[in-house]
Structure 1
Amino acid sequence: MARKDGINRGIREIPLGSGIWWVDFWHEGKRIRKKVGPKAQARAVYERLKTESRLGTLVPKPVRKHEPLFGELAEQYIRYADLHHKRKGDDTPRLKWWLDAFGDKLALTLKPYMVEEVMEKMNKEGYKPATIARCLVVLKAVYNRAVKNEIIERNPIARVFAPKFDNSLVRYLTTDQEERLFEALPERLHPIVTVALHTGCRQGELLKLVWEDVDFNAGTIFLRDTKSGDSRRVLMNSKVQEVLLALPGRDTPGAPVFTDTLGGPMEGRNLRRDFDRAIKKAGLAPFRFHDLRHTFASRLAMMGANDRTLQTLLGHKSQRMILRYAHLGPTHLWNAVEGLASSAKKRIGTDTKGISSEGRKPKSVENTGAGNGIRTRDPRLGKAMLYR
């Protein structure tokens, strides 16, 4: 039985009654549709294409892929980042500059010079090189994820380089500054700030603490989800235990250690907001919550803690991250250079009478010995001294 529409095989009028005819047939498992116009012309095109198909000379034009806007890629990345990154919402403000500049542009039309112009504008408006670098990292992450998911074929801004900046700056509180900070802080933030100062825990680690993670018998806090991805234990000194024992909710399973005014888990954005207000009130800007961790490490370094101790207490996998604290505890460096002087004295018999070696020692060296002159100093600090 013949097909009812056999006379119109391979051509269709779309929409019906419009007088516009399309070629519509299958070739090697792929559907080929082509807008032609008049019916007679559409039939002639169909016959030609079918002949080419039978002879194997038909080469279909590649289907043009959708060219995404940068704003579409950014939106997809934010959904991914908020789902997988530890601190939800961190990347959103870092994308604002890029969205304002390129949100409605085709993603593959961006050029390195266009990105560099935005970075230059940020610099003129007072943004620090470190902030600009972090924004660029997020921009590249948007493109890299799109390439990985085969949404685009290449990253057009891969050759844009971040500005160089010194990341070794360490901000830490003196005793006087710590007192000013606590005077400006709301009372409800005193516990979490105190624990941060005495453990070196990061903000995110403290906010995720539940009471099951606090072991008063062992004197430890168990951190389940750290920045490195590994769990670890930190020690509680007597001050931390005193502060935590005064907090409510210890008998409630799964209860957070640090809570908001309603008793729910304390949120990071609210903590940062209130902490920043207190910092400004105390005149300590641009001190950040993370600098409490630097304060913890700096104080240990100034008390003479060695590199291995700092690395263990901070939870760093590599010693590279603790080099920023080296200048605060230069005991081992002083011993090294002083060893040259001692060697020279023995070789040439230099008379050092009247010159006080104590006056030349850095403060951290002076404070490393037993103190009060009742014992010999640590032999690693120089030649032994007699009892006084």
Structure 2
Amino acid sequence: MAILSKINATSIKSLAVEDKRLNDTEIKGFHARISAKGAISYYLFYRHNGKQVNYLLGKGSSITPTQARDMAKSQAGKVASGINVQSDKKVAKAKELAKKFNKFSVYVEEKYHPWLIANSTRTADQIKSVLLNNFKELADMQLSEISAWHIEQWRSKAKKLNKAEATINYNVNTLKGALSRAVEWGIIDSHELGKVKAYKLDNNRTRYLDPLEEKALLSTLTERDKLIKSKRLSANEHRLKRGYPQQPSLSHHAYADHIEPIVILAMNTGMRRGEILSLKWSNIDFSIKVLTIKGESAKSGKTRHIPLNNAAFNVLTKWREQNAFTTFVFEGSEGKALTDFKKGFSKVVADAELQDFHFHDLRHHFASQLVMKSVDLNTVRELLGHADMTMTLRYAHLAPEHKAAAVNLIG
């Protein structure tokens, strides 16, 4: 129950936890609260435009009762003159935030990225990388200075570098999300990126490998693996002659690195890039040859199970022999999931002389092979994790025998 007394050092010292609240007898609305753990907080209660406001003056750990009283007098005077001190406090805090985090690189590293870690740990590092690596020219700019013109200039350069329009859209949308959050936090008043319209994409693109391309890709992966192992062997011989410490030998490993296992797995399961990178050994039941993609890793948010064919099972079995003590199937540094393999995969695609081929096309390849071998579209949908048949129907044209069978029913 609240008690009445002038708030000073003596009354605060005698305030018990069971009292909960001490109302000052001289300054209207001035009161102190005590938590269950004995922590003191000072407040000023007032009304503004008919609404109740409880304004925090400060914590007992940082201000004295006398200082709290002086602050209460000052703020009560402002309230009497019609000022909403709570609103003023929020404005001041927003200005402080704007001053501290308005530089793009500082905002991303010190404000946005920590928030992402707390709310979206699976993509936090990836989003930070997208923002800082793709928009380097914005690094020293104030958030309030970033305009639609800057982003149009960036898109023009990206197009000249042959970046895919889907990738450009993703990067710009990631930047929009970061700036929209800055608006929400009061760091900037608004941003112009809503004026930047996304490129219209052909969502029905179904690029897959023909037999010769598939053979070229697999051959390139094998040759790449041999070359890496050969270079490691030569380097160690060189180090041995000069008495230098040797690097770990790759001779007894099935794979020199993660590139070939990732590609083989994608070709034979249709898994998305993010699903592969977040895959853990605990998600694979080798006894029944089934891989489980958890809902938190899936685009649809739903858990699904993929039976492993011989190629997928064999590559995972061999890869596990090299990485038996890791949590993630494809692990990066410090025990975290691998975040990227774009450079290695792009080199393989170039060496195999594959035209207009992206990693996601391995998923199309998986689906296309199933449909061309007469697997029904609903089964394909389930394996791919599509929420409905809309996306899966893009592969329907690869099964002409279904259409032929349909018209023959009436002919």
2:385 to 315, 334, 341: 315
Say which SS state the counterpart of residue 193 (structure 2) adopts: coil
Match of 2:107 in 1: 73
1:92 to 129, 141, 150: 129
Match of 1:106 in 2: 142
Deviation at 1:295, TM superposition (A): 0.8
Match of 2:396 in 1: 326
Structure 1 or 2, whichever has the larger Rg, is 1
2:184 to 121, 124, 148: 148
| Residues 132 and 139, structure 2, Cα contact 8 Å, conserved in 1 | no
Deviation at 1:98, TM superposition (A): 3.9
Distance 1:98 1:329, change over 3 A: same
Q: Where does the alignment leave 5 or more consecutive residues of structure 1 unmatched? A: 1-24, 32-49, 340-380
1:174 to 210, 221, 229: 210
Deviation at 1:383, TM superposition (A): 6.1
1:291 to 338, 346, 361: 361
Match of 1:13 in 2: none
| Residues 217 and 349, structure 2, Cα contact 8 Å, conserved in 1 | yes
C-alpha distance after superposition, 1:37-79 (max 9, x if no partner): xxxxxxxxxxxxx9xx798488999666243234443333344
1:183 to 219, 227, 231: 219
Say which SS state the counterpart of residue 305 (structure 1) adopts: coil
| Residues 368 and 398, structure 2, Cα contact 8 Å, conserved in 1 | yes
Say which SS state the counterpart of residue 162 (structure 1) adopts: coil
Deviation at 1:141, TM superposition (A): 0.6
The 5 Å alignment of 1:128-139 reads 128-139=164-175
Q: What RMSD, in angstroms, separates the aligned Cα atoms of the two structures? A: 3.9
In structure 1, how many angstroms separate the alpha carbons of the residues matched to 2:403 and 2:152?
42
C-alpha distance after superposition, 1:362-386 (max 9, x if no partner): xxxxxxxxxxxxxxxxxxx5469xx
Q: Where does the alignment leave 5 or more consecutive residues of structure 2 unmatched? A: 1-69, 226-253
The letter of the residue matching 1:151 is I
Q: Which runs of 4+ in 1 moved over 6 A?
A: 57-61
C-alpha distance after superposition, 1:157-210 (max 9, x if no partner): 333321222232222122222221122112615444333222212344334444
1:237 correspondence with 2:274? no
TM-score scaled to structure 2, two decimals? 0.58
Say which SS state the counterpart of residue 89 (structure 1) adopts: helix
TM-score scaled to structure 1, two decimals? 0.61
| Residues 82 and 89, structure 1, Cα contact 8 Å, conserved in 2 | no
Q: Alignment identity in percent?
A: 29
The letter of the residue matching 1:162 is A
| Residues 169 and 198, structure 2, Cα contact 8 Å, conserved in 1 | yes
The letter of the residue matching 2:213 is Q
Match of 1:161 in 2: 197
Say which SS state the counterpart of residue 219 (structure 2) adopts: helix
**More helix by proportion, 1 or 2?**
2
Deviation at 1:311, TM superposition (A): 0.8
